[in-house]
Structure 1
Amino acid sequence: MSGLNDELWIKERYEQVCRKNPAEYALISLKIKRFRIFNRLFGREAGDWLVGQVYEAIRTWIGEDEYVAHIQLGYFNLLVHMPEDYEEIFQYIIKLNARIRDWPYGDEYGKVYSGMGVYRLTDQPKDFYTAQYNADICRVESPESVLRNSHFEVYGETHHDTNLGSYNMEQNIRPAMDHGDIKLYLQPKVDLKTGEVTQAEALVRWIDPKKGLIPVSDFLPELEKNGLIGDLDLFLFERVCKNIRRWLELYGKKIRISVNLSSDMFNYRYFLKEYAAVYEKYPCPKDCIEFELLESIVLNQVDQVQNVVGQLKNFGFSCSLDDFGSGYSSFSVLTNTDLVSLKIDRSLFQNESDPRERVLVRHILESAKELGLKTVAEGVETRGYVEYLKSLGCDYIQGYVFYRPMPVEEFEERFLKNGERAQV
């Protein structure tokens, strides 16, 4: 493959362009799809030959003041004139792809497909390696594109770099915990017989000093993707234990708080060891702590549910099934594990005049009662549903009809100091 331009060469061309008219250009990251498989099937020499052929197909197609370089294996960088209009970019890539795909490689090898990432330069272009990264990141095959023949994405248009957000999240979440920006919030669970609040669910809020409240949807999915959700789980659990213990000492009252067990912790073999270590630092009555398992996590994992619930029960904690009815509810989980309560998903309380919703809710509550499970209706917002749930013997309601999530300090003031009750 001697004679092919390399990365240093294309970097020099890139810097020349940036000094003159960068906004007219784009850097394209191009990779021959399934190139490693080709090498295994036909051998390294054939692979080298293919790289040379693809290079030649591109070199003889691009115009004046446009450049191509072989970076490594089946990976190339192109520096070419590129319009701003997406439709024109699309047509350009179609023609480039056809040139590579239909180059006469011979009957033995057939057509060659490629993945491409396009990064348009601006009047104030990034350095070469940043531009190369931007092109690479939208060229990399997604689960949807891996089985397609050729594919391409345009940076900033059809592709947005979520990795930058993930990186920032990793850098910011721990300082936010240390500085007290990550806060424990509690949403009360109202006893439908008495109106008392002796239970709540632990929730998280991120209140940045400059940005204000950061939506949960902006950071929780990222923490789940990058593996930091377990750190957040333990952080909140520590604060739950601290407050339960403090309230018992100050007011002589036991508050039962449920905490969510993320999928990372649910599938982590030694999860209980992590929670036990936190608990031993701030011991409190174990019957005041309940772990909520999301229905979406436990579905079709009865053995793992039995294992997790069994470990928690043996330690002294209890478990409930959260979001029941949100998807394909697994009744086998209810009949084969030692759960103590069932939380009915908010999706079943959207339209109180819909008789179908009422039928489903009634049957779920009747089944739970016969199985000896306590029941919590989550996301209830209307008085009509409060009355209906009372008539069916539902135990608790957790919803805006009574209380929104609130800071720990407000919860303490209203329900421990003042003994506030909801009007049920």
Structure 2
Amino acid sequence: MKDMDKTKEQLMDELNSMRRQLTELKEKEKDLRHISTHDELTGLPNRIVFYEDLSYALMEAKKKQLMAALLFIDLDRFKLVNDIIGHMMGDQILKSIAFRLSRSIRRSDLIARIGGDEFGLILNGIMRIEDIPGIGQKITDSLREPVQVAGREFTITASIGIAVYPVHGDDADTLLKHADTAMYKAKEHGDNYQIYSAAMSEEDFELLATESALRKALENSEFVVHYQPQINTVTGEIIGVEALVRWQHPEKGIIPPAEFIPMAEETGLIIPLGEWVLRTACAQNKMWQAAGYPPMRVTVNLSARQFQQGNLVETVLGTLEETGLDPEWLELEITESIAMQDINYTMSVLNNLRNRNVRIAIDDFGTGYSSFSYLKNFPSHTLKIDRSFVKDVTTDNDDAAITKAIIALAQNLKLKVIAEGVETEEQLAFLKEQNCDQIQGYLFSRPVSAESFTELLKTRNISEKREECP
């Protein structure tokens, strides 16, 4: 009997042990399920759950003939915040942002963390599309209050892209793509939020098409270099030339740089394009010298991306060696804003080039910031007055004062000064009176082909061959 009772007790103990193990397994399974479907840091659902819930929300919206909205929320410049304060404090900010977002939505909506600094929001049961901007504003307002972490305050802003079912798509993938597009447009324009429109996709398509066409243009040699003379203000003689790239499109004709240089810069195509322009301009200048024309400097513009290339000096020297042009007949032009991006790097590169007898020009001078204190240390030879000052120099007292100051500054620093965008006799007379060294603009000549520029060189003095300003 005792043995039987003992056996029952053992069975009960084993049964209870099995129950405990089963309960623990269920808890572990529940924990694992939660870990696989939720973000560990914020506790919010993750991208996998968000996609599933979005698909379900669209099914329900279709069934009930209602709208649903997808919001893509991206924290602005959060990578910079992380780099400055460290990831631990950055994580605390993310947790605070997640809490605020959760608090700003309805119980029927879903918020998820779908990336490092990206959140997704599903708004269910939307009756009118007009209600959505108010929700977007409410979310941005919730983020406006500074976040306090470790006794410090941080103000975090966000860019929000919004896509609405069924107006902007009837499946999860399409809505995600369109909300992402709208978010980047909001970031690009500095807006709190943007609602998707078909024009955004058309614009993106145009950008992709432009990039593709640019690549083909490089392969098919569709680019040409035009040359604009730089004139001695006193004698009217051509003493220099600026090389300016143009795209000779087989269908659209000549495309000005403003329409393709930004895309070339963004995609990195500016590097091979810029090297081609440099090589072409140097070779052409050497050809003019070989033909017996008096030597003159050719000025070539450098973009921001070109200037930041670590091998810029080697590229320039290699091009000069390849074309046979003496370094003193090349002038490289950078804008004031490029020069000011990284002073130490700028000084190093410019000194390196100057030590090899390559001349340096600072373009768009006077349009930037804090440059007067640095200018005396820049190893430059020439200042170019921006055309925005020259345009109204005879009618605007401020522009006149700025132009006079730049010319006087250049003269005191023993720099040559050249005024761009000269289009009228009145502008020319003003600049002559201020002893501006050189002039460039439509009053004398537009940028022209190498062949047309050769014809200008045959006269050398083109003061009597001025073109009418368009």
- TM-score (norm: length of structure 1): 0.74
- Distance in 2 between the 1:145 and 1:54 partners? 24
- Aligned runs of 1:219-258 on 2, under 5 Å? 219-258=260-299
Note if 1:119 corresponds to 2:119.
Answer: no
1:373 is the counterpart of 2:415: yes
> 1:81 and 1:240, CA in 2 relative to 1: closer, same or farther beyond 3 A?
farther
2:388 maps to 1:340: no
Q: Which residue of 2 aligns with 1:109?
A: none
SS in 2 for 1:134: helix
Within-5 A mapping of 1:287-366: 287-299=328-340, 301-328=342-369, 330-349=371-390, 350-366=392-408
Give the superposition deviation at 1:236. 1.0
- Given the superposition, is the C-alpha separation of residues 177 and 126 from structure 1 closer, same or farther in structure 2, using an over 3 Å criterion? farther
Which amino acid in the other structure matches residue 270 of structure 1? N
User: Which residue in the other structure is 1:138 paired with?
Assistant: 182
Q: 2-side partners of 1:241 and 1:343: how far apart? A: 21
Structure 2: segments with no counterpart, 5+ residues: 1-33, 39-44, 79-86, 144-156
- What is the correspondence of 1:375-390 to structure 2 with a 5 Å cutoff? 375-390=417-432
Superimposed CA distance per residue, residues 168-198 of structure 1 (whole angstroms, 9 cap, x where no aligned partner)? 4433322212223322122211122322224
1:397 to 1:133, Cα distance in 2 relative to 1, 3 A: same
Residue 400 (1) aligns with residue 456 (2): no
Residues 1:90 and 2:133 are matched in the alignment: yes
Deviation at 1:346, TM superposition (A): 1.8
Offset from partner CA, 1:374-402 (integer Å, 9 cap, x none) = 22111122212212322333221101222
**TM-aligned CA deviation for residue 28 of structure 1:** 0.8
Q: Distance in 2 between matches of 1:42 and 1:371?
A: 50
Report what 2:452 is aligned to: 410
Between Structure 1 and Structure 2, the one with more helix by share is 2
The match for 2:10 is: none
Identity %: 26
Distance in 2 between the 1:38 and 1:341 partners?
48
CA distance in 1, matches of 2:328, 2:159: 56
Report deviation, 1:312.
1.0
Query: Structure 2 counterpart of 1:352, which letter?
Result: T
> 1:21 and 1:234 mapped to 2: Cα distance?
60
**What is the aligned partner in structure 1 of residue 108 from structure 2?**
60
TM alignment of 1:195-214, pairs within 5 A: 195-214=236-255
The aligned amino acid for 2:179 is A
Contact 2:238 2:462 in 1 (8 A): yes
Whether the 8 Å CA contact 2:61–2:124 is kept in 1: the answer is: no
| Whole-angstrom CA distance in 2 between matches of 1:257 and 1:304 | 24
Of the candidates 181, 187, 193, which is equivalent to residue 152 of structure 1? 193
Question: CA deviation digits over 1:276-314, x for unaligned, max 9?
Answer: 333333221222210112112223755433322211122
The Cα shift of 1:69 comes to: 9.1
> Whole-Å Cα distance in 2 between the matches of residues 358 and 94 of structure 1?
45
Higher RCO (C-alpha 8 Å, min separation 6): 1
In structure 1, C-alpha distance between the alignment counterparts of 2:125 and 2:172, rounded to whole Å = 16
Aligned residue pairs total: 396
Q: Does 1:186 align with 2:227?
A: yes
Q: Which residue of 2 aligns with 1:104?
A: none
Q: Which runs of 5+ in 1 are unaligned?
A: 62-67, 102-112
Cα RMSD after superposing both structures: 4.6
Over 3 Å counting, the alpha-carbon distance change for 1:71 and 1:267 in structure 2 is: closer
Q: Give SS of 2:354's match.
A: helix
Please say which structure displays the higher CA radius of gyration: 2
Q: What letter is aligned with 1:60?
A: S
Q: Which residue of 2 aligns with 1:129?
A: 173
